[in-house]
Amino acid sequence: MADAPAPSKADPAPPRAALVSVRPGAIVLARHGEPALSRKCYLTSDQYRDWWAKYAVGGLRAGQTPPPELLATAEGAGAIYASTRPRAQETAAAIAAGREVMSDALFIEAPLPPPHFPAWFKLPPQYWGAVARFWWHAFNHHEGQETRAEAEARSEAAARALIARAESGQDVLVLAHGYFNHMVGRRLRADGWDLVHNQGFKYWSQRRYEKR
């Protein structure tokens, strides 16, 4: 009687495809260039309100050159966002080298309505900005504009949108405003993003966040 054929060994199962983990890209929050509107003046609180209205719709001082480091950041970014304010739009035009820039009002500056002070009391615009920001932050002084709670909700939405884009592995650059960038950065840190490069809040500066 012929020997029965030896049972064949089953072909080994193909290895399971390895799950590829994409490291999130960095998120860079940059401030716009220097605005054209002069800060070399003393103003009453009412005059500062008018000054800020002009500042909000004004562009950049002519003749500025973006710093090479910010140009390099823009070149390496997979996505560039900009506030819809003219000073942010002109900043984007100066550094994006013709690349697509996604304009979004989500990134505009939080409002700065000053409290009402007597007409004899005058300050330079930068000091009025600090006073107005304190009143807005501490006392929710908003004069019918965006409240602190509303701005915080907007900063959280902005952080979520940037994280979603960075999770594809792309670096993301935002060209916006000093205080709102600070608010977005605070949300990023709360969500586990480290501030790894910090140029402060001067014009053309950038703050780089990376996922822990």
Averaged pLDDT of the chain: 91
Q: What is the mean pLDDT of residues 82-111?
A: 96
Residue 30 phi/psi, 5-degree rounding, is -115, 145
pLDDT for res 22: 73
Per-residue pLDDT of 58-72, as tens digits, reads 999 999 999 999 999
Q: What is the mean pLDDT of residues 12-25?
A: 59
With a CB cutoff of 8 Å and minimum separation 6, the contacts of 9 are none
Q: Is 169 exposed, middle or buried (0-12, 13-18, 19+ CB in 10 A)?
A: exposed
C-beta of residue 204 within 8 angstroms of C-beta of residue 70: yes
Instruction: Return d(Cα 91, Cα 193) in angstroms, integer.
Output: 25
pLDDT for res 23: 83
pTM: 0.87
Q: Percentage of the chain surpassing pLDDT 70?
A: 90
- State both tokens at 153: 């909700």
